[in-house]
């Protein structure tokens, strides 16, 4: 019975996710879901992206268990931010996104960046209707993360290895990390970034701009 | 209805957790639950603790979504390890622990160390029946983690700030971190550790030995 309920919940979620996806396409909005552990650097990357793409109309949805700190950081970087506090829930779901976008003007939006709750397990099970799911994994977390959290890495379209400035300070085998990623999801685009210096952000933004021209393909 | 089911599930869990707790006390086993983000260094700390307390009979239960890597690391450090693969579930629960300890000899165990699934949200909602819940939070995750993930920090008996060797390499305000911790849980014991050098492990082990003499107090 537990399993059945879970299936129903996921079924409902997938229906709403598909509707969100149609809404994004109808309004020509490119939507991305950023997932990763607490402290992997999701907000720092979004701040950098928002500043770098200041010619685009960007909306950001911030998902957190508590606080509106991340939304404040994004607004300081120059984009509008909508904070969802889940209260205790460990992931965003399609219904939360539906509710948020009903309050945003999608017709005046080019890109919607969604930062999921810091969690490498649960968010992977709940599609939001975005075009691409990107995982942010940071160097100090260790090079074994893909095999320890395979569901998230298997279900993504891109992986951002963040905090590469710490490669000299911790024991991390970059080759091993990317090899594990490829085993789980050979198609995923690979990025390496460092937010203090901004290394790698330009390549990420370039890729993002390319997706803008064909948001309906995935 | 969803909420009700959740309450029932948690109700069941709490019943089994209370039974686990009685089992630990009846067998004079000190039990601890280590929670933290993926890559916060839980396994590294347990390896260090196992090596330092080699005069005690230690059992370790490793909770992971996938792989038996952590159990292998613990056995190399010299303790017996029991790996639970949750298959996708984002936290351990009291029933999983019950099943694991039914296969361990508690009468020949002084300390049971449980490493929860890497996740700073979900494990906090599921008591396992242990005497103390310790959070491992690492410097590169950022000093804001207590306020971003308040449920876990509010419900713990101790916080281990790990990877202090990276304090010179990242922007982290130690005072702010501990102040946020104290606001959420004034009673929690505070530790600072670094696993490459082993700094802080002796104090953690000393505290752990003290708890051995009175495992039934909490």
Q: Per the domain annotation, does B19 fall within a domain? A: yes
Cross-chain CB nearest to B140 (options A66, A88, A163): A163
Domain that holds residue A39: 2-212
pTM score, whole prediction: 0.92
Cross-chain CB nearest to B166 (options A9, A118, A140): A140
Nearby residues of B35 by Cβ (< 8 Å), 6 or more positions away: B42, B116, B119, B120, B123, B124, B133, B134, B135, B136, B152, B156
What is the mean pLDDT of the segment spanning A196-200? 98
Q: Per the domain annotation, does B218 fall within a domain? A: no
Going by C-alpha positions, the residue among A47, A48, A19, A13 that lies closest to residue A31 is A19
Task: Look at A39 and B37 and tell me if their CB atoms are within 8 Å.
Answer: yes
Structure-block tokens of residue A181: 């990623």
In chain B, count H helices and then E strands: 8, 7
Q: Per the domain annotation, does A40 fall within a domain? A: yes
Q: Per the domain annotation, does B217 fall within a domain? A: no
Q: Per the domain annotation, does B111 fall within a domain? A: yes
Q: What is the pLDDT along chain B (218 residues), one digit of tens a residue?
A: 334 444 556 679 999 999 999 999 999 999 999 999 999 999 999 999 999 999 999 999 999 999 999 999 999 999 999 999 998 889 999 999 999 999 999 999 999 999 999 999 999 999 999 999 999 999 999 999 999 999 999 999 999 999 999 999 999 999 999 999 999 999 999 999 999 999 999 999 999 999 998 645 44
* B contact test, residue of A40, A86, A90, A154 with most B CBs within 10 A: A90
> In chain A, which residues have their Cβ closer than 8 Å to the Cβ of B69?
144, 147-148
As a whole number of angstroms, the distance between CA A79 and CA A28 comes to 18
Q: What is the CATH number of the domain that holds A87?
A: 3.40.50.300
As a whole number of angstroms, the distance between CA B196 and CA A29 comes to 46
Nearby residues of B39 by Cβ (< 8 Å), 6 or more positions away: A37, A138, A140, A141, A142, A145, B118, B138
Residue A6 CA to chain centroid, in angstroms? 23
Q: Per the domain annotation, does A193 fall within a domain? A: yes
Task: Look at A39 and B38 and tell me if their CB atoms are within 8 Å.
Answer: no
- Overall domain count for chain B: 1
Q: How many CB atoms lie within 10 A of CB B5?
A: 12
As a whole number of angstroms, the distance between CA A106 and CA B61 comes to 48
CA distance from start to end of chain A: 33
Q: How confident is the model at residue A88 (pLDDT cuts 50, 70, 90)?
A: confident
């Amino acid at each position: 019975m537990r399993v059945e309920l879970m299936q129903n919940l996921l079924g409902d979620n997938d229906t709403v996710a598909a509707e969100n996806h149609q809404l994004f396409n109808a309004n020509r909005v490119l939507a991305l879901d950023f997932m990763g552990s607490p402290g992997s650097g999701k907000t720092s990357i979004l701040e950098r992206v928002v500043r770098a793409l200041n010619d685009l109309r960007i909306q950001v949805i911030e998902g957190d268990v508590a606080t509106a700190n991340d939304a404040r950081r994004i607004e300081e970087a120059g984009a509008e931010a909508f904070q969802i506090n889940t209260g205790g829930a460990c992931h965003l779901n399609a219904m939360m996104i539906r509710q948020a976008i009903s309050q945003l003007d999608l017709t005046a939006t080019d890109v919607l960046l969604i930062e999921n709750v810091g969690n490498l397990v649960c968010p992977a099970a709940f599609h939001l209707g975005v075009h691409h799911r990107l995982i942010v994994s940071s160097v100090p977390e260790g090079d074994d993360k893909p095999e320890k959290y395979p569901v998230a890495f298997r279900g993504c379209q891109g992986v951002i290895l963040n905090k590469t400035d710490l490669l000299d300070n911790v024991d991390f085998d970059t080759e091993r990390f990317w090899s594990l990623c490829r085993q789980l999801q050979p198609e995923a685009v690979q990025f390496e970034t460092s937010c203090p210096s901004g290394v790698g952000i330009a390549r990420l933004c370039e890729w993002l701009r390319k997706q803008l021209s064909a948001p309906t393909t995935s």
